[in-house]
A = this chain, B = another copy of it.
């Protein structure tokens, strides 16, 4: 067809073929449409140019007259051609001046002007860009290889089959709300009704949504320092003034601060990144302070499923009597990262605005996945997986602590945490942990510097390492690589 068309229209002026003009798998109809439209767009068929009649065109192209007429009608409808009864189609004035002599759309011609929000995001330390396949000892990852994908696949399949019978327009799956709440009540001491469980694509989404729903620009927000950078990024993006509050052995120190924060972000059961536990007296002190100050508390219980000594400490949320605690959690650590499911248990008075905000912002999750997870929990697979991984991750914690001591015990001070998926190895204060992390990165090892987690004054130096996602061989090899890199660094 192209040969015939070439003879018909002046193809010398045609620039490089566009992707949609490739003939593979296209109908004749679509090919002709693309050829003619492309020639009009690139100016090969100039405005005012008169085409042959559809009868003549069909004859030359050896196509049915219906096909040709259909294409011409379509192009006329879209405004590329002008047609009139009994006359040959004419190329319309389609402002070819705009089109000719320009490179194909690349965006390079216009630097993107970004919002303040986007600019703040660009400058934030979080989220990290895609670092490619994960490497030891990137924090925050579980071992997806150990997840019972086959069982999960069956749950997904059953949920997909049930989909046509669902018949609601809920954003949060009621079966998942019920199953998750039962788990949280039993294992975390959470107190709530199922409708307070809001399901979002990640814990980060939960923090973001809370920040947007409760914070205005310049509102004061407290963070633990050191603390979770993702929370800092979300609160900064919401325009909050952030103050990093130092820790003591019991967690965030309220003392006699006279500020009145609007939001307080804490990780009381297993402080991120130090692993410290906030005892109940400090919890009550914090709750009472928040109530007096009119602050809400965001309790991020990010990896409390995994506890190696004794029982996980019950959640702060269960102690609250004033309806001011938002309890945040995630499945991306307890199942596998790509599942993209987090949640927040919101105080009852916030349920309606959160559902509205979810619909509005798109911070919601595929229903079939939510329903599949509800079945996975109800059938006991979730609890069984947690039990299995707690055993495995506990061994990995011990192994990493052991090999790190052997590899660099003279200047890394390793304290195995009582729970979670990562450990903190303190460095002597004269070593710049950011520099160490950067050099390890080049040597093939991913760690985070402790400095990176402070808001305000940097009080300690150390390396934050994930141990959960790697098997024994990977841990040993990673530790060897670290030893070599650290030796070169210290020489």
* Listed A/B pairs (26) with beta-carbon separation below 8 Å: A70-B311, A77-B310, A79-B281, A94-B280, A95-B285, A98-B287, A104-B191, A105-B320, A105-B323, A107-B350, A108-B349, A109-B321, A109-B322, A115-B212, A130-B171, A147-B163, A153-B156, A153-B157, A200-B362, A201-B362, A202-B364, A205-B363, A206-B362, A208-B360, A338-B366, A369-B369
**CB–CB B130/A144 < 8 A:** no
State which size class the interface on A falls in: 35 or more
Give the contacts of A212-234 with B (CB-CB under 8 A): 212-216, 233-234
Number of copies of this protein chain within its complex: 2
Q: Are A160 and B153 in contact (CB under 8 A)?
A: yes
Chain A residues packing against B (C-beta within 8 Å) = 18-20, 25-26, 29-30, 33, 37, 41, 70, 73-74, 77-80, 92-95, 98-99, 102-118, 121-122, 124, 126-127, 129-134, 144-145, 147, 149-150, 152-154, 156-158, 160-161, 163-164, 166-171, 185-186, 189-191, 200-202, 204-206, 208-209, 212-216, 233-234, 237-238, 277, 279-285, 287-288, 291, 294, 310-311, 313-314, 318-324, 336-342, 347-350, 352-353, 355-357, 359-369
Which residues in B have their C-beta under 8 angstroms from that of A285? 95
Assess whether A280 is in contact with B362, with CB atoms less than 8 Å apart: no
User: Is there contact, CB below 8 Å, between B323 and A109?
Assistant: yes
Contact B95 A288 (CB under 8 A): yes
Question: Do residues B347 and A168 form an inter-chain contact, with CB atoms below 8 A?
Answer: no
> In this complex, what residue of B is CB-closest to A141?
B169
Roughly how many angstroms separate A156 CA and B150 CA in the complex, as a whole number?
11
Say whether B323 contacts A37, CB under 8 Å. no
Closest B residue to A348 by beta carbon equals B107
